[in-house]
Structure 1
């Protein structure tokens, strides 16, 4: 578990990142601008910061430079933006940013970047980075040296469950989907983040789907107790 500061002027992004990171067991502090970020950094002493580049008062790169020159850049910082260029990413790297996430941020890339960032605390061994040619760089690759995400593990054959087929297609489909999601909830100990990653759904879509199917969200957690 880590203390993570999320700095972004968009309420929806702050809420989503907070929900995902809380679900992973982290403590999350939120800030919507540089002023709040400064106060939160001094008060909470975060283990890692997710910092948006484009903000209304002071942009993220300027804040990163401020922390670097004043000796406050004592934690890994992951930059975020949907509009940054490779030059901006390289500049942030030189200042001291750990990595970069391009918006919209996928769940898998977020969790991977956070895991890599927290290795600076000595709790995890960092993976070797693979250089890429400059011609192939995206903004994200410019700050990650082109590191690719780990392959999805093959979990083997899944338990078989029979379903009654003598019913309308919609009812049969709902029955199957409910059993499918209940299985994954139990398997992942009730972690919505892991279930979303496994099933390939965004968390907001997943929540709506489970509610629609009447899935008991506490079932997976009880089974792990």
Structure 2
């Protein structure tokens, strides 16, 4: 697992990269501009940075130059852009960027570049605690796995939980003292139970579930499909 900083002014790109890299087991922090990236770098050293070139306040190449000038370019940086020229890519590489990805970024190219960066990039110590700015739903998922040890629940157990008053629920229903599950399986199991719970509570209403979970409906549909959750079946049970 690595700490990865994603710097991009487009919210959709930040959310997509956070989801993909989070599914790979990494802890992702996002910054929407160069200033936020500067502040994050002052507080810790990420294992890898994905840096967009075109941003409204300061472009990625300029930020890369700043980090190099100030001795802060001690982590591998992968540049991203949908409009950069070959000269821009060459300049970024000359300054110290490890790689360059052209948008829209293909999934396999992204994962390969990240893996190469984490394997070949410079190693540096970092503070034990790093603050994050990930999407709320993803932050909750990561904190839930870290705070306790997950014990997967079945759909019937989730249905029972959904019928109980929220104030009567305890984290003991979801967590045990075992760290036996691999991180990916634990995260998927928690997310599955989390969405099944809300679907049952809201009688399968995707609109209300999207509001409760803080996700856009398109993102919610994609996440449910990925987890193998059938909203129709849960709606019938919830009803």
TM range (shorter): 0.5 to 0.7
1:143-195 C-alpha deviation (Å, 9 max, x unpaired): xxxxxxxxxxxxxxxxxxxxxxxxxxxxxxxxxxxxxxxxxxxxx96998xxx
- Mapped to 2, the partners of 1:72 and 1:66 lie a distance apart of 8
* 1:50 alignment partner, SS class: strand
* 1:79 alignment partner, SS class: strand
Say yes or no: does 1:115 pair with 2:115. yes
As a proportion of its length, which structure holds more helix? 2
1:74 is displaced (CA, Å) by 0.1
The unaligned stretches of length 5 or more in structure 1 are 124-187, 193-203, 218-225
Say yes or no: does 1:94 pair with 2:107. no
Q: What residue number does 2:33 align with? A: 33
Contact 2:76/2:117 (8 A) holds in 1: yes
- Mapped to 2, the partners of 1:213 and 1:114 lie a distance apart of 22
- Mapped to 1, the partners of 2:111 and 2:27 lie a distance apart of 15
How many residues were matched structurally? 142
Which stretches of structure 1, 4 residues or more, deviate above 6 A after TM superposition? 204-207
1:81 is displaced (CA, Å) by 0.2
Query: Alpha carbons of 1:209 and 1:20: their partners in 2 closer, same or farther (altered >3 Å)?
Result: closer
1:11 is displaced (CA, Å) by 0.4
Contact 2:8/2:33 (8 A) holds in 1: yes
Contact 2:76/2:122 (8 A) holds in 1: no
Q: What residue number does 1:170 align with? A: none
Q: What residue number does 2:161 align with? A: none
Query: Alpha carbons of 1:23 and 1:61: their partners in 2 closer, same or farther (altered >3 Å)?
Result: same
User: TM (normalized to structure 1)?
Assistant: 0.57
Contact 1:5/1:41 (8 A) holds in 2: no
1:78 is displaced (CA, Å) by 0.2
Matching of residues 121-160 of structure 1 within 5 Å: none
- Mapped to 2, the partners of 1:59 and 1:213 lie a distance apart of 35
The unaligned stretches of length 5 or more in structure 2 are 124-183, 189-216, 231-239
1:108-164 C-alpha deviation (Å, 9 max, x unpaired): 1110000000013589xxxxxxxxxxxxxxxxxxxxxxxxxxxxxxxxxxxxxxxxx
